[in-house]
Amino acid sequence: MNLSRRLALSLSLTRSYATRGKRPKPGTSEKPAYHAPDPLVNNPHAVVTSLQDENLTFIHRPPPSAPSPFSLSTAPTSPLLRPATPITNDPLPPFVRPSADKVPLPRASDTVVAQIRGLRRSNPTKYSRGKLAKMFGVTQNFVGTIAALKSPARMALIRTRNAEHETARVLVITGRFLLVHHSFTRIYLAS
């Protein structure tokens, strides 16, 4: 008897896994879809009226929720039944994007566009997009749109810029680069 208790106790303390049940057929769910019963079927408060001559039956069911005693036609509780709020001159909240409040820049005249194009083509290194934008009060994107460089000139500028960046990167890595914080000028130390 004692042995059978020990055996039963040891079997109950061992780890066991649930066996897999019967798997459903592919394309079917494990449970059937839930179909909620119609709360208005067999309503005890329903009023049934039958017309024998016409063979018609009218069933009037009251709404499932009672109307609010505070809802009147002059002051309905539902916001859908309320009249529209009048437009007032109250201050509006601030814009989400500060750029929406910016005043657009004035349009550049044809002479300004011609000057920008001429300066950019004459010396693209000296007259960069940023410098021309500051000179004429336009955006850099506008300068790039109206005075785009030809592909060989643009690629040459990109190559020189990348070479300058690589030189600065090497100097920073080797420690021969000093940055003066007050004037933000770069001083390269000779080796």
Reading the block at residue 168, the tokens are 């600065």
> Is pTM, for the whole model, over 0.75?
no
Reading the block at residue 89, the tokens are 């001159």
CA distance 69 to 61: 20
Q: b/e string for 27-49 if b means 16 or more Cβ within 10 A?
A: eeeeeeeeeeeeeeeeeeeeeee
Question: 35-52, pLDDT tens digit by residue?
Answer: 887 666 677 778 888 888
Average pLDDT over residues 151-171: 87
The string of DSSP letters for 177-190 reads: EEEETTTTEEEEPP
pLDDT at 177 over 60: no
The per-residue pLDDT for 55 is 82
Reading the block at residue 88, the tokens are 């007032």
Q: b/e string for 138-175 if b means 16 or more Cβ within 10 A?
A: beeebbeebbebeeeeeeeeeeeeeeeeeeeeebeeee
The ranges assigned to domains in the chain are 107-149
